[in-house]
Amino acid sequence: MLKRYLIIGACLSAAVPSAVAEDAALQCTLVRDNSLRLACFDKVYSAQFPLQKQPAPPKSEPKAVDLVRTVDESLNRKEATIVFSKDKAQPLAAPTETLLDAADAYTPLSHMYDLDQNHTSGILSVREHNPMYLIPAWYNSNPNRMPQSSTRGVSENRISKEQKRLEAKMQASFKTKLMEDVFKTRADIWFGYTQTSHWQVWNQGEKSAPFRNNDYQPEFFITQPVKADLPGGGKLRMLGLGLVHQSNGQSRPLSRSWNRIYGMAGMEWGKLTVIPRLWVRAFDQKGERDDNPDISRYMGYGDLKLQYLFNNKQTIATTMRYNPKTGRGGVQADYTFPIKGKLKGYVQGFHGYGESLLDYNHKHNSIGFGFMLNDWDGF
């Protein structure tokens, strides 16, 4: 009888880590990138079935910056001192924490900016950046039929004047890593490009349906993985700095453009990802040569992006801008749901100023229904 109980107890104890591994493996299924999903499974099951002899990690492997200890050491030494994080070994008595942490490490923010490991594609490969989508039905409550700015006055043109409320909206975006693990850290240097277009596809008049506006946005930016705890169980995962140019490529008086230097941070509270940015205008024309000198009054000095990923791969996200001095800004809300493979249904809504660069000082409400064409849903 005693022998039977010992056998049952041994089976139950063996089943506990197995069940935990299954829970962690289910979380790995939410990882969208193929190589990172495989790495997630490897990490989960290697914790349950460890090798007898673990390979030693590379001595020169870059680490994330421990932000709190870096600040403390710099203040104590009265000079800039960088302190790298040290991965702590997980106790064998806590298999649940070990396995679930392995699955949780591969978050949307980590995927996008290689915070935990470099992507297998290396540098100079085409990667996802901002969302790529097609919205065949984009409804504008208040079309801007007479675009204007303080230095260009009111612009009258056929396309703007004859535009309909219903049009199509689309966005294409990519980025590529130019350098990785610079400054002997996990810092990476990137180039990104985003193009957003409004197409009067439903405006079938005497001439072909025109593109009402195109916004072009190239940028260079650097990301530095960091580690710091935040209130409410949050984690600071990344700091970044970038230079972005945005213009609509049109001739005066419809030309609109500006350059910005921005700083950003990447934070996570479970499945909630938060990216705040602050920016200042830089390298722009002055006086009458500036197409839109008052753009900051409407577009503000930063934005706040939030995204929440549900277990069923649905996402909700929002991007908010606000200038407290003028009381103007804008908010965009996004909702995606899976259809098949990488194809997802997409609903986008907008309220306020600056839905496009041409409409930076024009307020309206818009809503559209379409398709998301890539894995990155919120930013």
Domain count, the chain: 2
169 in the same domain as 294: yes
Domain assignment present for 240: yes
Pick the catalytic residue from 74, 150, 245, 364: 245
- pLDDT value at residue 216: 98
pLDDT at position 146 is 87
Indicate whether 98 and 138 sit together in one domain: no
Same domain, 275 and 318: yes
Q: Which domain holds residue 66?
A: 2-106
> Looking at the structure, do residues 58 and 173 belong to the same domain, yes or no?
no
The two tokens of residue 227 are 């580690």
Same domain? 183 vs 260: yes
Say how far residue 217 (Cα) sits from the centre of its chain: 15
Half-sphere exposure of 10 (CA within 13 A, CB side): 6
| 161 shares its domain with 80 | no
Could you say which of 247, 255, 351, 364 is catalytic?
A: 247
Q: How many CB atoms lie within 10 A of CB 57?
A: 8
Query: Quick one: which of 282, 215, 260, 268 has its CA closest to 238?
Result: 268
Report if residue 202 sits inside a domain.
Answer: yes
Q: Identify the pLDDT of residue 59.
A: 46
pLDDT of res. 92: 34
- Given 106, 121, 148, the domain boundary residue is 106
Count of residues making up the chain:
379
Specify whether 79 is located in the same domain as 148. Answer: no
Q: Is residue 118 part of a domain?
A: no
User: Model pTM?
Assistant: 0.78
Q: What is the pLDDT of residue 250?
A: 86
In a domain, 143, yes or no: yes
* 72, 159: one domain: no
Whether residue 247 lies in the annotated active site: yes
The predicted structure's pLDDT at residue 10: 46
**Can you give the pLDDT at residue 117?**
87
Q: Is 245 among the residues known to form the active site?
A: yes
* Domain identity same for 155 and 63: no
Instruction: Please check whether residue 75 lies inside any domain of the structure.
Output: yes
* Per-residue 3-state assignment (H helix, E strand, C coil) for 129-167: CCCCEEEEEEEECCCCCCCEECCCEECCCHHHHCCCCEE
> Does 139 reside within a domain?
yes
Same domain, 219 and 161: yes
Sign of CA pseudo-dihedral 240, 245, 248, 252: positive
At residue 271's C-alpha, the angle toward residues 265 and 276, to 5°, is 20
For residue 292, give both structure tokens. 């839109």
Do 137 and 194 share a structural domain?
yes
Q: What pLDDT score does 80 carry? A: 66
Give the span between the Cα atoms of 372 and 379, in whole angstroms: 12
122: in domain: no
Q: What is the pLDDT of residue 163?
A: 87
Q: pLDDT tens for the chain, 379 residues: list them.
A: 544 444 444 444 444 455 445 556 666 766 666 666 676 766 666 655 555 545 545 445 566 777 667 776 677 776 666 777 765 433 333 444 444 444 455 688 998 999 988 888 889 999 999 999 999 999 999 999 889 888 887 877 778 888 899 999 999 999 999 999 998 889 999 999 999 999 999 987 666 788 999 999 999 999 999 999 999 999 999 999 999 999 998 888 889 999 999 999 999 999 999 999 999 999 877 778 888 999 999 999 999 999 999 988 899 999 999 999 999 999 999 999 999 888 899 999 999 999 999 999 999 999 999 999 876 544 4
- AA identity, residue 288: E
Instruction: Give the model's pLDDT for residue 241.
Output: 98
Point out the domain boundary residue: 106, 124, 142. Answer: 106
